Structure 1
Amino acid sequence: MERLDCGLVELRAAPDAGPEAMTFSGYGAVFGNVDAYGDVIAKGAFDRSIADFKASGAWPAMLSQHGGWDMSAESLTPIGVWTEMREDGHGLYVEGRLAD
């Protein structure tokens, strides 16, 4: 397995198409970060939504470009499925599998 550290993102490439092919993990959001609009995400922000998703068994859609910034077909295209979401002391941890 190769690793590439890009500062904010770590990418790993597996040499074969085994069970981990097309999977990823990381943080979808971190706490205390001030974004370009001055918004700050507080601890606990995701707890209720994650509990609701797990109780219903229906995860949110994994969409290209967050889904809907420009409301184009491209930004609303499903690109994979979420396999895990949880909130920890750092932020919103996610795992997913990209579509072929």
Structure 2
Amino acid sequence: MEGYASLFGVVDLGRDRVERGAFAASLARRGPRGIRFLFQHDPAEPIGAWTSISEDVRGLRVSGRLNLAVARAREVHALLRQGALDGLSIGFRAVRSVREAAGVRRLIEIDLWEVSVVTFPMLPDARVAAVKRRVSPAAARRPHAREAAAR
């Protein structure tokens, strides 16, 4: 699955606005494997692993694989495929921020801990953009099929 977990320059429902480059230090230090892939920000609900997390001109782009050996990941996959679930949200600590006169907190540097699939994202436009299908057992035996299906 893939999508945007955060968008630059957009004020979320909690009055936070992430600036370009805010994730750079954290991503360099942790890499995608150091960022947890959770369901609803629950540390007891890991559902997969992120294979790619990067900043682009729009925001924080994520790509990951659900672990379909995990019951909750199978449920999330079914809901994502149906379109019943499509929100993404970040769990972080603000390293450097500035409070503006209008009450908006500009996040300049973020220590990113996790990205979750959620029902209601704090940033309404942080959404899953694509979900690939689960592969049949016969197709799974073909080269690269398992890898492609879990993304």
TM-score range relative to shorter protein = 0.5 to 0.7
For the aligned residue pairs, the C-alpha RMSD in angstroms reads: 1.6
Using CA pairs under 8 Å that are at least 6 residues apart, name the structure with larger relative contact order, 1 or 2: 2
Q: Give per-residue Cα distances to partners, 1:3-61, cap 9 Å, x unaligned.
A: xxxxxxxxxxxxxxxxxxxxx1111100111111111011111000110013xx84211
Q: Report the 3-state secondary structure (helix = DSSP H, G, I; strand = E; otherwise coil) of the residue aligned with 2:25.
A: helix
Structure whose CA Rg is larger: 2
Please, what TM-score do these two structures have when normalized by structure 1? 0.62
| Aligned positions, number | 68
Distance 1:25 1:58 in 2: 15
Greater strand share, 1 or 2? 2
Percent identity between the two aligned chains: 41
Greater helix share, 1 or 2? 2
Counterpart residue identity of residue 84, structure 1: S
Distance 1:58 1:27 in 2: 17
Distance 1:51 1:88 in 2: 14
Please, what TM-score do these two structures have when normalized by structure 2? 0.42
Q: Give per-residue Cα distances to partners, 1:38-92, cap 9 Å, x unaligned.
A: 11011111000110013xx84211111123xxxxxxx631011000011111100
Shift >6 Å, 4+ stretches: none
- Structure 2: gaps spanning 5 or more residues: 69-151
Distance 1:76 1:31 in 2: 29
- Structure 1: gaps spanning 5 or more residues: 1-23, 68-74
